[in-house]
Amino acid sequence: MFEPINNHEFRENPDSPARAYLETIYHRIEWSKEAVEDFSEYQESIHKLREEKEEIFQKLLELYQSGDLEACYAIGCAYGSYDAGVKRNSELAHAFFLQAAEAGHPTAMRSYAFSCKRLNGHEDTTETIEWLKKAAKAGDILAMSFLGIRYREGDSLETNYDRAEFWFKSAYDAGDKASAYYLGKLYDFQLKDYGKAFQWYTIFADQNAKNFRDLARFLNREDTAYFDPAESLRLKIENLDDAYDHSRPIICGEIAEHYLNGRGVEASKEEALKWLRKKLGLLKPETKLYKETKLEIEQLEGSLI
């Protein structure tokens, strides 16, 4: 067990090997079919990885003692993780995060904030909010997004939509594309500015095709100026390949419903049947949804005879 050195001087090092070491520390060997077939090989891989992590942890200690700020943060991550080359110790993780945070490490500021929260029964503390703000101001993207959520929801902070908007936009500009979704939600449900909601949902859908359903759902709502089922259907079809990749056969069923009801497209039982068959092909046999879809197909086929 290694404890932080008091009054230790640190320096930032963008080329610190500690950054690469973190990838190994967090790496896990997943249980697989191959592991079942050759369990001894799986155990050997686990053993080798554990030895590598232990060696890396010793290198991190050397870097830390030389004043490497990134190593200070990485040691906190190791103590805060399971199977990271050292026995897990939440209190030591907390102490190293604090030391790195006080030395100016933005991600450590955010990590320390959430360490405070964990040690307080997963409830925000004054320190949690204080360090989240420091991390956001220091450029930590996730801290910006977390602050936006807290201001939007009035969670541990007084509700302030202007501040929520500011931090979501800051996070987006800094590279957090998910913040486009949060901005869409903010304008949609809190600020009721459907023009801006549409703008940010569209940006999010373009960048994150797997989540296009949010935009499609927005376009189909009667309480906005963008009720356009044809556009909704187009978005669903354009993104269907991504839906396949993310195992979302339900999208095929939704498209089939459009064709069955003539909503946003000319009604066509043949097209509906085509999409239902695609849906069936994505489902696991013997599941309830598989059986229901198969029955729906049979009934539709019967109506075409």
Of the candidates 54, 80, 104, which is a domain's last residue?
Answer: 104
Block residue for tokens 């296009």 = 212
Q: DSSP letter for 268, please.
A: -
Block residue for tokens 């050397």 = 62
**Predicted local distance difference test score (pLDDT) of residue 244:** 53
Residue type for 36, please? V
**Predicted local distance difference test score (pLDDT) of residue 264:** 72
In this structure, what token pair is assigned to residue 16? Answer: 């610190």
Say if residue 113 is in the same domain as residue 23: no
Rg over CA atoms, the chain: 25
Say if residue 47 is in the same domain as residue 128: no
Residue 164 lies in a domain: yes
Say if residue 76 is in the same domain as residue 19: yes
Say if residue 124 is in the same domain as residue 135: yes
- Residues 100, 8 contacting (CB under 8 angstroms): no
**Predicted local distance difference test score (pLDDT) of residue 125:** 93
- Residues 109, 138 contacting (CB under 8 angstroms): yes
Per-residue pLDDT of the chain (305 residues; tens, 9 = 90+): 899 999 899 999 889 999 999 999 989 888 777 777 788 888 999 999 999 999 999 999 999 999 999 999 999 999 999 889 999 999 999 999 999 999 999 999 999 999 999 999 999 999 999 999 999 999 999 999 999 999 999 999 999 999 999 999 999 999 999 899 999 999 999 999 988 998 898 888 777 656 666 777 787 777 777 767 777 777 777 766 555 554 467 778 888 888 888 877 789 999 999 989 988 988 888 888 899 999 999 999 998 87
Say if residue 95 is in the same domain as residue 54: yes
For residue 165, what are the domain limits?
Answer: 105-169
pTM of the model: 0.78
Q: Cα separation of 31 and 36, whole Å?
A: 8
Q: Cα separation of 114 and 137, whole Å?
A: 16
Of the candidates 86, 104, 122, which is a domain's last residue?
Answer: 104
Say if residue 144 is in the same domain as residue 85: no
Say if residue 74 is in the same domain as residue 22: yes
Say if residue 58 is in the same domain as residue 147: no
Say if residue 73 is in the same domain as residue 53: yes
Residue 66 lies in a domain: yes
Say if residue 25 is in the same domain as residue 81: yes
Burial string for 268-280 (b: 16+ CB within 10 Å, else e) reads: eeebbbebbbbbb
Report the number of distinct structural domains present in the chain.
2
Cα three-residue angle 16-19-23, rounded to 5 degrees: 150
Say if residue 95 is in the same domain as residue 3: yes
Of the candidates 143, 169, 195, which is a domain's last residue?
Answer: 169
**Dihedral angle sign, alpha carbons of residues 152, 156, 157, 159:** positive
Residue 17 lies in a domain: yes
Residue 159 lies in a domain: yes
- Residues 21, 60 contacting (CB under 8 angstroms): yes
Residue 249 lies in a domain: no
Residue 205 lies in a domain: no
Q: Cα separation of 186 and 164, whole Å?
A: 8
Residue 22: other Cβ atoms inside 10 A: 21
Residue 231 lies in a domain: no
Say if residue 86 is in the same domain as residue 66: yes
In this structure, what token pair is assigned to residue 154? Answer: 């009035």
